Structure 1
Amino acid sequence: MELMVAVSAEFGVRSEQLAHAWNVGEDGPRVAVARPVTPADHYNASELLGQAVIVLGSLAGGVTANAIYDLLRRLLKRNARGRELYFQKTEKPDGTSIIEVRLSDDGPTDRP
């Protein structure tokens, strides 16, 4: 099973950087292997324009969405500049699952 992750351009991160950070981390490779993709190569590019996109392949059995969100939160926390991360999972009619990661509309928070 594969899961696509689309990270908003607000984070200032490229697909290659995100996939690398996921794959060299301690927990990421235990959950899945990340590979960068160009949305135009396999997906509706207009939906994901300007976003860093990776595909998490070979997902480990029993991995929950919350576990994936937590790993993404750790990877992207520095790029959030004190703003909250917002996750939205969408199931497309063709069976593709996409987790979109955006920053909240609110300004920086006091939370670490």
Structure 2
Amino acid sequence: MSNAFVQQDAVQHLLRESAGLNATGGDERFKMIVHRLLENLCTLIDDYNVTEEEFWHAVNYLHELGGRQEAALLAAGLGLEHFLDLRQDAIDAAAQRETGTPRT
């Protein structure tokens, strides 16, 4: 399949519903972020032809992390926390700020 599958009306409707975009109230920016995250995950599933077994293995992994209250460790382990630091450093440099809040 191609990314065109994720762009089909039925899939986009599902993603909008899942992200809460069709509901009133709530934080609109957060809804848009969730929508983008879901859309990117669906595209990844489609691009890599993720099997149901692989999908449920990943879900179980996240479930186990949550059960041990270790989900935050995943952010550091995947490098996402460091990415945020690099991104903020670039923002600070673009704003010509030489010092800022130290980050780990």
TM-score range (shorter-chain normalised) is: under 0.3
Of Structure 1 and Structure 2, which has the larger fraction of its residues in helix?
Answer: 2
**Using CA pairs below 8 Å that are at least 6 residues apart, which structure has the higher relative contact order?**
1
- Scaled by the length of structure 1, the TM-score of the pair is 0.24
Of Structure 1 and Structure 2, which has the larger fraction of its residues in strand?
Answer: 1
CA radius of gyration, larger in: 2
- Scaled by the length of structure 2, the TM-score of the pair is 0.26
